[in-house]
């Protein structure tokens, strides 16, 4: 099977592209601040606990109708703003959130019938596991196991009023119209397009650490967790 990638809902297969991944299995760098201390050998390293974006590169080849196909590809990639979903056949169980904003140049060969180009996406550092999109529903207290070493930032939909404790973090739902969504990645509490931050009391947004996590429900009818597992 020929390899391909899909970005913002469209696949390279739609354009008849041949694809090779140059750095599919690479990892991002950590964000570390270096401070030079007077009269001290070496730098002081301050680890911020976060990671830099990762540049993911594909080599593509147009094998037919080069001019028209090149224009279609440019419109596809450059008309998308912000981060969009990017997945490929090299690592089919994962996806990235990526952005494309660079110019796109082609090397033409064989009387301009064939073209080659490098497509470089600016990606968030996480490789999200597709299994992390599968929801878990709890109607009583229980556990959920993070299969990675990385603390994930889940989306938790809470039904009813009461208290949800995620490991040691207590979240109090003071009032709710059916349900409320707590999104740790966006750091928002909402229902649909309505901000519901005033209905929830907590000192921080919950995370699901590597390994087993305990969720305790008190007074709530159910919670639905989209865990968002990820790797580097």
pLDDT tens sequence across 61-117: 887 767 778 889 999 999 888 999 999 999 999 999 999 998 888 887 765 667 888
pLDDT: is 39 or 64 the higher one? Answer: 39
The topology (CATH level 3) of 5-125 is Elongation Factor Tu (Ef-tu); domain 3 (2.40.30)
Closest CA to 127 of 84, 97, 154, 148: 97
Spelled out in words, what is the top-level CATH class assigned to the domain 130-231? mainly beta
State residue 111's pLDDT score: 59
pLDDT tens digits, residue range 157-205? 999 999 999 999 999 999 888 999 999 999 999 999 999 999 999 999 9
- For the chain, how long is the longest CA-to-CA vector? 72
- Phi and psi at 130, nearest 5°, equal -65, -25
User: Whole-angstrom Cα distance, residue 231 to residue 212?
Assistant: 17
Give the domain ranges of the chain: 5-125, 130-231
State residue 65's pLDDT score: 67
Which two tokens mark 140?
A: 């009583």
Please compute the mean of the pLDDT values over residues 148-161 and round it to a whole number.
97
Please compute the mean of the pLDDT values over residues 127-153 and round it to a whole number.
97
Strand pairing partners for 28? none
Average pLDDT, the chain: 92
Residue 108 in contact with residue 81, Cβ under 8 Å?
A: no
HSE (CB half, 13 Å, CA atoms) of 96? 29
């Amino acid at each position: 099977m020929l390899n391909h990638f899909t970005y913002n809902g469209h696949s390279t297969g739609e354009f008849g592209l041949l694809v090779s991944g140059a750095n599919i299995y690479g990892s991002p760098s950590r964000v570390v601040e270096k401070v030079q201390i007077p009269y001290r050998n070496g730098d002081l390293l301050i680890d911020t606990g976060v990671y830099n974006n990762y540049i993911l590169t594909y080599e593509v080849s147009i094998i037919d109708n080069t001019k028209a196909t090149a224009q279609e590809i440019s419109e596809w990639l450059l008309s998308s703003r912000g981060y969009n979903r990017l997945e490929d056949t090299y690592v089919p169980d994962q996806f990235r959130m990526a952005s494309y904003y660079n110019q796109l140049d082609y090397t033409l060969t064989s009387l301009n019938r064939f073209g080659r180009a490098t497509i470089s996406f600016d990606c968030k550092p996480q490789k999200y596991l597709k299994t992390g999109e599968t929801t878990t529903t709890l109607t009583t207290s229980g556990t959920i196991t993070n299969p990675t070493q990385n603390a994930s930032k889940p989306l938790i939909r809470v039904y009813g009023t009461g208290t949800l404790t995620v490991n040691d973090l207590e979240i109090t739902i003071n009032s709710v119209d059916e349900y409320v969504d707590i999104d740790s990645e966006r750091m928002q509490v909402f229902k649909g397009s309505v901000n519901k931050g005033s209905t929830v009391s907590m000192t921080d947004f919950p995370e699901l650490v590597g390994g087993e996590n305990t969720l305790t429900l008190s007074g709530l009818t159910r919670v639905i967790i989209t865990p968002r597992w990820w790797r580097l």
